Amino acid sequence: MEEQTPILECRNLCISYDTRGGEIPAVIDFNMKVMPGQGVGIVGESGCGKSTVALAIMQYLGSNGYIKSGEIFFHGRDMRTMSEEELRALRGSKIAMIYQEPMASLNPSMKIGDQLAEVPLFHEDVTINEAKARALELLEAVKLPDPKRIMESYPHQISGGQQQRVVIAMALLSKPDLLLLDEPTTALDVTVERGIVELVKEISAEFGTAMIYISHNLGLILDTCDRVTVMYSGEAVEDGTVNEVFDAMCHPYTSGLFASIPLPGADKNERPLVPIPGQLPLPHQRPQGCFFGPRCAFFKAGTCDQEKVRMRSVPEEEGHTVRCARFEDIDWSEGDHEAVTVKSVKSGKVVLDVRNMKKYYEIRSSSILAMIRGDAVKTVKANENINFNAREAETVAIVGESGCGKSTFAKVLMGLEEATDGQVVLNGEDLAHVSVQNRKARTVGHLQMVFQNPFDTLNPSHSVGSQIARVIRKFGVEKDPNKVREKVNELLDLVKLPRDFAHRRPRQLSGGQKQRIGIASAYAGGPAVVVADEPVSALDVSVQAAVTGLLTEIQNDLRSTLLFISHDLSVVRYLSDRVVVMYLGHIVEQGTTDEVFSPPYHPYTEALLSAVPIADTSVEQKQIILKGDIPSAVNPPPGCPFQTRCPRKIGSICETEEPPVKEFEPGHQIACHLDEDVFSSMEPVIVTHEEEKIA
C-alpha cells in the first residue's frame, strides 16, 4: 500500500488550561492519525480530555487554553503556524464540527435556509441563489422530509432530530475533508439516534469524508468507526482498530469499561456488572506513573508507580498501541473480576396496582381565533388506560422515549398530579386522586423517587446530612435528633459512602456520589415502591455499573419494588424482571423481560431493540430504522399511536381503530392489529454469533 498523507495528524500533543489554581494539563502526549475516508473514534468518560482534543483541532480553545507542545498537521501543514485568517477559511469549509446540542448550534432568529446559505456564501464565490440551491440539495441528502418547507422554517419549528440533521447538512455544505462529531446524538432519543448514526455512516461513505467521532458510548463507536482511541485522564491509553480494541483489548481500563456496560448475557444476579472502583483523578491529583494505577486491579507497586508510562505496540498487531507498563504480563483471569453474585429474589404479593389510569391535561389556547372557533380548550392525553401491577421485591421497567408519558405517570404516582380516571392502588389504598399534601407521612415515605440528574437533585445550599435528616423527620421515621443522626449514618452505610460525607456540601461530591445520596434519601422512609427515573443515564459508564449494582443490592435486602423508568434497553434488560413499553401515553407491550426481548414483539419494541447500540462485535442486530419523529401528544394520530412510524403497518385499520390487546402468555400483552401468524414468524432482533441466540 502506498503511503498517503493523513488528513489530520496529532503528534505528541499537550494541551493545558490556565486557571486560578495554576496550569492544568488537560491532554498529555496525544497522538492520532486520520486517513482520508476513515472514521476514528475517541472514547472516554467525562473529564478525560476528548472534547479538548476536538477544540484544539479546531484551534478554538478559548482564552485560557493553549497548546503547550506538539503539532497538529492538517494535510501535512502545521496548524499552529497558520494565521487567524487562514484558520477562519479552514473552519467550516475544510474542517466542520457538529456539537451535542443541535439547538445551540443554530441561530434561533434566522430561517434555516438562510443559515445554510451563509456557509457557501462565506467560503466560496457563489450567488445567493446557487447557495440556496446547494442548501436544498443537502437537506435532501440528509433525508429531511419536505426540505422546501424546512428551508423556510425557524429552528424551533422543527424537532430535535431534524435540527441535528440540519446541523449535519450545514457541516457538509462545503464538502469538508474532516468532520468532527462531539457526542452528536447524546441529546436525542434512541430511535432518532439510530437514524442519525445511519446517516453519518452513509455520508462518510458517499462523500469520502474523514470523521472523528467523540462519544462515551462504545456501541456507537463500534457502529461508526474504523479505529478507536480510548482516553483516560488526558492520555490515550489504547489505540487500534475497532476489532482489536473491542475483542483483544490490552489495557485494564478498556477492559474495565467493557465489564461495566450491560452487554447481552449480563445478568444482575448471576453475572453482574463490574464497576471500576474509585473515580477519575483530577488533573492536579494525578498519581505518579500510570494514571489508572490506583483504580487498576492489576496494579503492581514498583512497576506501575514509577516513571511515566509510554505508548507501546502490541506484538503482532501493527498499529495497536497500549499505554500499560505490564500488559504482556497481565493474567486477565486473575484480576478481581468476579463480583459478588446475588441470589435472585422471589417476588411476593402485588404492592402497586394501576388500573385503567388516565391522565388528560387541558391546554387553553388564548388566541382569539381559537375562541371564535370554539376549540380554545385542547386535551392532551398524556396517559391512556395504563394497566399494570408490580410485586414486592420486583423490578418493573417502564420503557419509552421522550413524550411517551412516563414522566406524567411518575407525577401521578407521586401525587403531584391527580389522575383523570382510574385507580392507583398502593398496599390496598387508592392514591389516584389524593395529592401528596393529603397523603399520610407514612404513605409518602412508602413511595419515593430517585431522580435522573444527580447534579440537580440535591439542594446546593444545605449539607448532605441535613438533607437526609430532613427526609427522615418528614416521613416520621425518627424524631429524636440523636436517633436521626444515627439513621443518617445507617443510610450512608447502606449506599456505601463514608459517614463524614454528612457534613459535605453537594458540590464537593462527584456525580455518582450524589446519586448515592439521592438513593439514600429515597430509602429513608423504608419505601415499598421506589420510582427511579433514568437514575444512571447522566452518569459515566464506570459509575453506572456501581450505581445499578447498589440499587439491586439494596432492593434485594429490603424487598422493595423498583419502578425503573428508562429508554436504555441494555440497562433495562440487565436490571428488570418485567418490562412495560410505552409509546405516546399508551402501553404497547408488557411482559417478563425475556418475553419482551424475544419474539413476538410489538413493532415498536422491535424497532427499539434494533436501535440500542451494542458494544459487542459478536452481536448482530436487525436494522429497523424508524421514519420521522415521535408525534406530539397534543395532536396524536388516530387509531394506533404508532401507525405514523410503524414499519409493519397493515393498512387503514391501523389509522382508524385502536389496536386490541392480545395476550400471548399469561402476562405478556401486545396491543397491535397484526395477525397471529405474523407474530409467530417474527425473528429475534439481536443475535450473537456464538450459535446461541440470546434475544
The residues binding other proteins (CB under 8 A) are 20, 414-416, 436-437, 439, 441, 444-445, 448-449, 451-453, 456-463, 465-466, 469-471, 473-475, 503, 505, 521
Residue 640 Cβ, how far from other proteins at the closest point, in Å?
A: 33
For other proteins, the closer CB: 200 or 471? 471
d(CA 419, CA 358): 6
- Beta bridge pairs of residue 322: 238, 312
Kindly state the smallest distance separating residue 381's Cβ from other proteins, in Å. Answer: 23
Nearest distance, CB of residue 499 and other proteins, angstroms: 16
C-alpha span between 162 and 166 (Å, rounded): 6
Any idea which residue has 473529564 for its cell? 47
- Give 185 or 443: the residue with its C-beta nearer to other proteins: 443
CB 536 within 8 A of CB 542: no
CB of 430 to other proteins, least distance (A): 18
Task: Report which of 454, 460, 572 is spatially closest to residue 522, judged by C-alpha positions.
Answer: 454
Q: What's the one-letter identity of residue 473?
A: R
Signed CA dihedral, 107, 112, 116, 117: sign only: negative
Least Å distance between CB 518 and other proteins?
8
Write the secondary structure of 299-322 as one string of H (helix), E (strand) and C (coil): CCCCCCCCCCCCCEECCCCCCCEE
Residue 73, classified by CB atoms within 10 Å of its CB into exposed (0-12), middle (13-18) or buried (19+), is: middle
Least distance in Å: CB of 465 to other proteins?
7
* The Cα angle at residue 516 between residues 515 and 520, in degrees rounded to 5: 115
Instruction: For residue 252, give every residue at least 6 positions away whose Cβ sits within 8 Å of its Cβ, in sequence order, or none.
Output: 292, 296, 297, 298, 324, 330, 335
Which of 507, 583, 491, 569 lies closest to 537, judged by CA? 569
Smallest gap, in angstroms, from Cβ of residue 532 to other proteins? 13
CB of 3 to other proteins, least distance (A): 48
**Residue (138 or 447) nearer to other proteins, CB:** 447
Looking at the Cβ atoms of 454 and 585, the one nearer to other proteins is: 454
Q: Which is nearer to other proteins, 82 or 414 (CB)?
A: 414
Using the minimum distance from each CB to other proteins, give the nearer residue, 245 or 450. Answer: 450
CB of 473 to other proteins, least distance (A): 7
- Cβ atoms of residues 98 and 179 within 8 Å: yes
Question: Please, are residues 177 and 7 in contact by the beta-carbon 8 Å criterion?
Answer: yes
CB of 475 to other proteins, least distance (A): 7
Q: For residue 175, what are the CA distances in angstroms to 91, 95, 163, 299, 453?
A: 12, 9, 19, 47, 38
Q: How far is the CB of 461 from other proteins (least distance, A)?
A: 4
Tell me the closest approach of the beta carbon of residue 277 to other proteins, in angstroms. Answer: 28
Q: Which is nearer to other proteins, 222 or 458 (CB)?
A: 458
The helix or strand, by DSSP H or E, that contains position 139, with its residue range, turns out to be helix 128-141
Here the cell at position 475 is: 416521613
Residue closer to other proteins, measured from CB, 462 or 627: 462
Least gap, CB of 450 to other proteins (angstroms): 10
CA angle 529, 568, 445 (to 5 degrees): 15
190: three-class secondary structure by DSSP = helix
CB of residue 383 vs other proteins: minimum separation in angstroms?
18
User: Cβ of residue 139: shortest distance to other proteins, in angstroms?
Assistant: 34
- Whichever of 267 and 430 has its CB closer to other proteins, that residue is 430
Nearer to other proteins, 320 or 446 (CB): 446
Please, which residues have CB within 8 angstroms of residue 591's CB and are 6 or more apart in sequence? 578, 579, 664, 665, 667, 668, 669
Task: Say how many C-beta atoms besides its own lie within 10 A of residue 500's C-beta.
Answer: 10
* Comparison of 83 and 461: residue with beta carbon closer to other proteins: 461
Which CA distances in Å does 327 have to 249, 251, 270, 312, 323?
10, 7, 28, 10, 9
Nearer to other proteins, 473 or 662 (CB): 473
**Cα–Cα distance for residue pair 367/370, rounded to 1 Å:** 5
User: Which is closer to other proteins, CB of 518 or CB of 585?
Assistant: 518
Give the per-residue SS3 of 395-450: EEEEECCCCCCHHHHHHHHHCCCCCCEEEEEECCEECCCCCHHHCCHHHHHHEEEE
Which of 466/556 has CB closer to other proteins?
466
* CB of residue 370 to other proteins, shortest distance in Å: 22
Q: Per the structure block, which three cell numbers stand in for 91?
A: 473552519
Tell me if 419 sits within 8 A of 387, measured CB to CB: no
Q: Determine which helix (DSSP H) or strand (DSSP E) holds 114, and give its type and residue range.
A: helix 112-123
Measured from the CB atom, is 20 or 349 closer to other proteins?
20
CB 615 within 8 A of CB 219: yes
Cβ proximity to other proteins, 312 vs 473, nearer residue: 473
Q: How far is CA 125 from CA 83, 117, 122, 173, in A?
A: 21, 12, 8, 14
Q: Burial level of 14, CB count in 10 A (0-12/13-18/19+)?
A: middle
Q: CB burial class (10 A; 0-12, 13-18, 19+) of residue 301?
A: exposed
Q: What is the rounded CA–CA span in Å between residue 343 and residue 336?
A: 20
Residue 469 or residue 536: which is nearer to other proteins going by CB?
Answer: 469
Residue 308 vs 474, nearer CB to other proteins: 474
Provide the minimum distance between the beta carbon of 431 and other proteins in the complex, in angstroms, as a whole number. Answer: 12
Distance CA 118, CA 132 (A): 9
Residue 575 Cβ vs other proteins, minimum distance, rounded to whole Å = 21
